[in-house]
């Protein structure tokens, strides 16, 4: 059997080799056919003045994914010299690698430019409870630099009830919550846009739209043509293959608190996700002890759960 702890130690020991490299935008080469994993985990040393928000802004990472990857570290005062894990290794989302794919459970977007063997990935702020972002397929219809904001009546009523009335129009500028750019979706009322509050990136904070760090959005907007497909999914558990090995990446399900999901519910969701892969795992005996640990940790780091060329499993092993 594999062990999650040694697997992570090995991963992070390799990551330490990259810890002195400068931060770069997350443009990653696509893996070979039949593989699903891109990027490498990195480790950096925190400076005295660092917060997770600052580190995430500099490394294209969202707040909650930084918290998940660094349990026990104070996100507002990590401390001088503290090792900080940058979760910059990803299992690509399931389905076609084309256009934009947004995984709500991951608070992350993937953009696959046509005709290029790369993927660009960015953190997102998504709809908060009661204003959930939809699961659907749509496309970009309009791109607008320096947008004005016309808050809908429902949002104006909400702000008024909180003693913070909004004008009918917020002009472009530093106080505009849409930031320097917006991309309108063919889904009425929904946008991909920047923000004047970067600390909301990587959390459930919006009224259903998708917020990005301003520099990420401007980079994306320069690449993405009008008409680009946008596929919105909600996959807290992603399985991937690399060099014949199976990996699992687990994120906290969005409905975990809303519906009070138990550990058994989460295990069932993982099994359903695994079964949906069909015969890609038919010839592997999975390490269910490790899978349990990964589900419990929900740290967003891809971890190996099966060795290649192991004994063929005739049925799923019990997990309780």
Active site residues: 193, 209
Which residue carries 């630099």 as its tokens? 145
Query: Are the CB atoms for 284 and 246 separated by under 8 Å?
Result: yes
Q: How are beta strands 191-193 and 210-211 bridged, if at all?
A: parallel
Q: 137: helix, coil or strand?
A: strand
Tokens of 299: 């740290």
Collapse the DSSP code of 87 into the 3-class scheme (helix H, G, I; strand E, B; otherwise coil) and give the result: coil
Using alpha carbons, select from 281, 279, 273, 275 the residue that is nearest to residue 308: 281
| Cα–Cα distance measured from residue 166 to residue 153, given in angstroms and rounded to the nearest whole number | 10
The alpha carbon of residue 254 and the mean position of all alpha carbons in its chain are separated, in whole angstroms, by: 12
Give the Cα separation of 270 and 194 in Å (integer): 33
How far is Cα 269 from Cα 234, in angstroms, rounded to an integer?
12
Give the whole-angstrom CA distance, residue 246 versus residue 283.
Answer: 11
User: How many CA atoms are closer than 13 Å to the CA of 170, on its beta-carbon side?
Assistant: 19
Strand pairing partners for 123? 108
Tokens encoding 136: 């659907």
Tokens 């899978």 found at: 291
Say how far residue 138 (Cα) sits from the centre of its chain: 19
User: Whole-angstrom Cα distance, residue 213 to residue 285?
Assistant: 41
Chain centroid, CA 160 distance in Å: 33
């Amino acid at each position: 059997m594999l062990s999650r702890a040694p697997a992570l130690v090995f991963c992070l020991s390799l990551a330490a080799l990259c810890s002195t490299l400068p931060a770069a935008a997350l443009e990653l080469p696509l893996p070979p056919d039949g593989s699903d994993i891109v990027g490498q985990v990195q480790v950096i040393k925190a400076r005295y003045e660092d917060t997770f928000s600052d580190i995430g802004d500099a490394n294209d990472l969202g707040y909650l994914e930084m918290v998940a990857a660094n349990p026990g570290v104070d996100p507002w005062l990590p401390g001088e010299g503290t090792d900080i894990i940058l979760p910059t290794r990803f299992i690509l989302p399931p389905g076609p690698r084309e256009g934009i794919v947004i995984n709500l459970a991951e608070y992350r977007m993937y953009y696959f430019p046509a005709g290029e063997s790369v993927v660009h990935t960015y953190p997102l702020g998504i709809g908060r409870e009661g204003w959930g972002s939809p699961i659907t397929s749509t496309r970009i219809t309009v791109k607008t630099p320096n947008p004005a904001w016309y808050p809908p009546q429902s949002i104006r009523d909400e702000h008024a009830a909180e003693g913070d009335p909004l004008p009918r129009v917020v002009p472009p500028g530093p106080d505009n919550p849409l930031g320097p750019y917006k991309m309108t979706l063919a889904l009425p009322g929904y946008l991909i846009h920047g923000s004047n509050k970067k600390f909301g990136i990587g959390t459930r904070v919006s009224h259903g739209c998708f917020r990005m760090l301003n520099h990420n959005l401007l980079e994306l907007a320069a690449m993405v043509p009008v008409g680009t497909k946008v596929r919105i999914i909600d996959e807290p558990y992603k399985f991937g293959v690399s060099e014949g090995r199976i990996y699992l990446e687990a994120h906290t399900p969005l409905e975990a608190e809303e519906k009070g999901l138990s550990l058994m519910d989460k295990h069932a969701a993982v099994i359903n996700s695994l079964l949906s892969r069909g015969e890609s795992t038919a010839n592997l005996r999975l390490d269910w002890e490790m899978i349990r640990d990964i589900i419990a940790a929900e740290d967003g780091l891809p971890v190996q759960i099966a060795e290649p060329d192991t004994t063929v499993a005739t049925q799923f092993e019990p997990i309780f």
